[in-house]
Amino acid sequence: MKKDKTEYSKIPEALDPDTYKPKIYRDISVTVLYEKKEGNEYCIGSVERDAYIKATQSQVNNLWNCISIMNGALTITEIQGEMEMQGIKVDVYQLVMKLLRVGLLEDENYMGRPFDEASRLTFPLCAVDIKRLSGLIQPFSRIIVSCVLVLLGLGIVIFSYLLLENKISIIELIRYKNSYIKSFIFSSLLAIPIFITHEFAHVIVAGKYKLYAAKMNFALYFGFIPMAYVRISGIYTLPRNKRIKIMSAGIIWNITLGITLTVVSYLLNIEILKVIALSNFQIALVNLSPFSLSDGYFLMCNFMKVSNLRMNFFKAVTMGKQGGAKAKYSLITWVYIACTSIFMGVMSVTFGNSLLRKIIKYRVLPEIEPSSVVFTILHITVSIICIILCFVLVRLRFKVLKKSF
């Protein structure tokens, strides 16, 4: 395991349009991101760099005509003149800056970062090279996927039978040796290796479509929440249904393993297997959430054919020039922004209540009845502070990272 040494340079605030000669990355291509009645959405990008920009139906031809002549021989001003001669309305300078930020230009002086939430809102810890392992797995991907699906089918049948016959209890599943605390501790400790297998499930299914992951990244989301993730190069060049299969692979694997281990623990009376099963169910549940940087969020985006919902939420919170009330978001985006804000509020209120009870329990504050007016006022105060801290954290993190581009 080693520190990720990929060098990213700070993108300049301005370029000289009369001297800078943009050169597009060598494997640039256009693919359909979402097929829509009102007009398709496209992504223009590089599989090798795993970097993309989004384009609408009305933009894609103009952008592609402009990008296709960025060969390093013409300056920005010359390309702008060429576009005007062809009657194509494109702000070449802004397009070049965007391509430079996401890393789609071949430039020895500047190396843009991948333009996504995982890169912008996490603090990288280390990255493990799994490209070779990914290549070794690829020939067996179809067989592995078929075996897992058969196992899932059999597991569901047996698990359902045992539930109907009252031979398995959900309450017993979340207890280890008659202790909920032991179960929680052991399942939490097991979460790390199980989460790694969750990420490899994405790699295996991606192998079915001849895609691979170069690295497994370990990072701190918002600087304090540990997470691991893989970046599947070229996933956005695939049709939507195949992207959904790759994105759901980890959840399906965790559910399969959870059901299988529950059944085996009952048949062989091995209690520790219940804890491992519980950890798998927990990870599957967490990853189904659309309100965090998880598989559930990406699946929701693909099912609803929308993109950048969370980044739009962060922009709305920062209230910058591109965020807040001035931004023109779709109805789905506004609904997501509202639901995410409510979710953060509910989590803050719940955390505030728990924190306040612990403070009273350990006699940091005088003993206060939970039903009293004083407790209610303190609870509201602590909850508001938690909500404010959440939004301040989002605002600061987004602005700090924004400056790095």
State the pLDDT at residue 12: 61
Q: Give percent of the chain above pLDDT 70.
A: 77
Pair 48, 233: CB distance under 8 Å: yes
Pair 95, 103: CB distance under 8 Å: no
State the pLDDT at residue 321: 46
Angle between helices 295-304 and 272-288 (to 10 degrees): 40
State the pLDDT at residue 403: 46
Residue with tokens 């398995």: 168
- Would you say residue 15 has pLDDT above 60? yes
| 85/83 Cα distance (integer angstroms) | 5
Q: What is the DSSP letter of 179?
A: B
State the pLDDT at residue 242: 93
- Where helices occur in 269-372 by DSSP H, the ranges are 272-288, 295-304, 309-318, 331-361
Task: Identify which of 15, 44, 6 has the alpha carbon closest to the alpha carbon of residue 28.
Answer: 44
Instruction: Identify the residue with better confidence: 71 or 168.
Output: 71
| 285/254 Cα distance (integer angstroms) | 9
Is residue 405 very low, low, confident or very high in pLDDT (cuts 50, 70, 90)?
Answer: very low
- The winner for highest mean pLDDT among 25-29, 287-291, 373-377, 388-392 is 25-29
Lowest mean pLDDT among 67-76, 114-123, 262-271, 279-288: 114-123
Residue 305, judged by CB atoms within 10 A of its CB (0-12, 13-18, 19+), counts as middle
The phi and psi torsions of 390 (rounded to 5 degrees) equal: -60, -50
- Would you say residue 66 has pLDDT above 70? yes
- Would you say residue 364 has pLDDT above 80? no
Q: What is the average pLDDT across 64-79?
A: 91
Q: For residue range 175-193, list pLDDT tens digits in order.
A: 666 666 666 677 777 778 8
| 120/51 Cα distance (integer angstroms) | 14
- Would you say residue 160 has pLDDT above 80? yes
Pair 201, 209: CB distance under 8 Å: no
Q: Is 84 helix (H, G, I), strand (E, B) or coil?
A: helix
Pair 218, 126: CB distance under 8 Å: yes
- Would you say residue 99 has pLDDT above 70? yes
Q: For residue range 202-245, list pLDDT tens digits in order.
A: 999 999 998 888 888 888 876 677 788 888 888 888 999 999 99
- What order of strands is seen across the sheet that includes strand 225-232? 122-129, 213-221, 225-232
Q: Across the chain, what does the average pLDDT equal?
A: 79
- Would you say residue 254 has pLDDT above 60? yes
| 199/355 Cα distance (integer angstroms) | 33
Q: For residue range 305-350, list pLDDT tens digits in order.
A: 887 777 777 666 665 444 444 456 667 777 777 777 777 777 777 7
H helix count then E strand count, the chain = 14, 6
Most distant CA atoms of the chain, gap in Å: 78
Pair 105, 28: CB distance under 8 Å: no
Residue with tokens 């520790």: 272
Q: Which residues pair with 179 in a beta bridge?
A: 176
Is residue 170 very low, low, confident or very high in pLDDT (cuts 50, 70, 90)?
Answer: low
- Would you say residue 156 has pLDDT above 70? yes
Residue with tokens 């959440």: 390
Q: Is 165 helix (H, G, I), strand (E, B) or coil?
A: coil
Is residue 4 very low, low, confident or very high in pLDDT (cuts 50, 70, 90)?
Answer: very low
State the pLDDT at residue 177: 64
The pTM of the full predicted model, rounded to 2 decimals, is 0.79
Enumerate residues 6+ apart whose C-beta is below 8 A from 253.
148, 197, 198, 201
Residue type, 226: P
State the pLDDT at residue 303: 87
Residue type, 310: R
State the pLDDT at residue 245: 93
